[in-house]
Amino acid sequence: MTRKKRVRAGTVVGHTGAILWSALALIPFALIVLLAFKSNTDIYTDPLGLIGVDWRPENFSEAWNGAPGGQGFAVYLLNSAVVTSIAIAGCLLVGALTAYFATLASTRVRLLIVRLFLVATTLPLIMLLIPYYTAFNALDLLGSPWALGVLYIALCLPTCVLILHSFYLGFPSELAEAASIDGLGRFQTFVRIVLPLSKGPIVAVGMINAFFVWGETQLAIVLLQSPSSRTIPVGLLDFKGQFASNTGAIFAGLTLATIPLIIVYLIFNRTITKGVALGGVFR
């Protein structure tokens, strides 16, 4: 096989893999949207069928109005927005500072910081439920979305620090030296030089953590017990009872819950791409 044919074959294999991987990522979301329009009977008897199906677009209005005894979807959406905003803002602020100044420390201190955050990523979330519940109960914070947002800062911080630390290790020292010659201190250099140039990685890390916080359920179920404080994943569980469940409304609610994430991704898509490219130049 000539070199030209090998390159062409490699391109075909690469494109095929990319298409298959994209389909694998899109199929679950497409399935959720499909089930959101179906009745309970069709969901269980013919989940993939398109012909002869009892289509129920009213699942979306039921999801928006909320289950009996619960709150409307708008309340859950607001609570999720509060929790996610606090978690991501705090995580990125503390994480970027920690990651950058860790790279300026001695090798021993830097490795110690990285290993501590690395160990934190290995802790299963289920192990933290009882300690967190005890602390929230003692502080009378059960049912407080903003308190849960602060808690998520601690949970998102290890991922944020580890990713940004890798990025800042390749940050060109010439820029910091030039800023120092111009009279900027380390913190001013971080704010005026480093942060603007690391906007892409910061947005990417923020989105990774936002996906986690937006869909997190284990902690939210335990710590947000009043109906008015629930986030979207917990609020949608009201549609599932002991003897009956409105599965179509649950899938409709999941579809509605995905829309804000898609909008945010479309807004920051170019920033992420530029940030990844900038990181490649640095290295």
Asked if residue 204 is part of any domain, the answer here is yes
Asked if residue 22 is part of any domain, the answer here is no
Asked if residue 27 is part of any domain, the answer here is no
Number of domains in the chain: 1
pLDDT in tens, 30-61: 888 999 998 888 888 888 888 878 888 888 98
CA-wise closest residue to 141 among 75, 260, 52, 225? 225
Asked if residue 200 is part of any domain, the answer here is yes
Question: Which residues lie closer than 8 Å to 138 by C-beta, 6 or more apart?
Answer: none
The structure's pTM equals: 0.83
Asked if residue 174 is part of any domain, the answer here is yes
Q: Quote the percentage of the chain above a pLDDT of 70.
A: 94
Q: CATH number for the domain including 259?
A: 1.10.3720.10
Q: Which pLDDT does position 82 carry in this prediction?
A: 94
Asked if residue 63 lies in contact with residue 253, where contact means CB atoms within 8 angstroms, the answer is yes
Asked if residue 115 is part of any domain, the answer here is yes
- φ, ψ for residue 271, nearest 5 deg: -65, -40
pLDDT in tens, 93-128: 999 999 999 988 888 998 999 899 888 888 888 888
pLDDT in tens, 230-248: 899 888 888 877 666 788 8
Residue type, 20: L
Asked if residue 25 is part of any domain, the answer here is no
Indicate the burial class of 199 (C-beta count within 10 angstroms; 0-12, 13-18, 19 or more).
middle
- Mean pLDDT of the chain, nearest integer: 85
Helix (H, G, I), strand (E, B) or coil at 66: coil
Report the distance separating Cα 150 and Cα 162, nearest Å: 19
Asked if residue 4 is part of any domain, the answer here is no
Where in the sequence is the domain holding 162, given as residue range(s)?
A: 56-282
Reply yes or no on whether the pLDDT at 282 is more than 50: no
